[in-house]
Amino acid sequence: MNEDIKKELDKEFSLAVKYRDMWMCKLCGKVYYAGDPDLECSHFRRRKNYQYRWDFDNAVSLCKYDCHKKIDADPKAYEKFKITMLGEDKVNEMNLNSKKIFKYNNINYEELLGEIRTRLVEEIYRYEKLCSRY
């Protein structure tokens, strides 16, 4: 896969997740300003698992230095956290599917990038609309 498109996918996806989460750590509730590098996009199923790398259910915004490091160090706690967000059935499905062989060379990366960019625009619009109320 072209490394440039992978970097672009990661960047756009990460931004879309942060806007979806309203620039707030979903573990501790701390709110960040849009663009703050101290909020990260965390992946429940690791990024090397291409089946879930750009799956919005797999990602959540977490504090870079506290929550992200803490939850990554405790996979059982991360799983419980995801269950509260997605439900046990969805997390069990993700756990099962992440063990299957996945051929990522069958993905249309240009199409995926277009979908993620569309989602990013929608999330920015929603964020700005909600922020303008306050």
Query: What is the rounded CA–CA span in Å between residue 20 and residue 4?
Result: 24
| pLDDT at 105 (0 to 100) | 67
| Nearest residue to 125 (alpha-carbon basis) of 40, 19, 36 | 19
Per-residue pLDDT of the chain (134 residues; tens, 9 = 90+): 578 888 999 999 999 999 999 999 999 999 999 999 999 999 998 888 888 899 999 999 999 999 999 999 999 999 999 999 999 999 999 998 888 777 666 678 889 999 999 999 999 999 999 988 76
Q: Which stretches of the chain are assigned E, i.e. beta strand?
A: 39-43, 59-63
Query: What is the rounded CA–CA span in Å between residue 97 and residue 86?
Result: 15
C-alpha dihedral, 78 to 84 to 88 to 92, nearest 10°: -30
| Nearest residue to 64 (alpha-carbon basis) of 131, 108, 18, 16 | 18
- Tokens describing residue 40: 């990260």
Residue 127 Ramachandran class (φ > 0 left, ψ -120 to 50 alpha, else beta): alpha
| pLDDT at 132 (0 to 100) | 85
| pLDDT at 134 (0 to 100) | 65
| pLDDT at 31 (0 to 100) | 97
| Nearest residue to 95 (alpha-carbon basis) of 56, 51, 61, 65 | 51
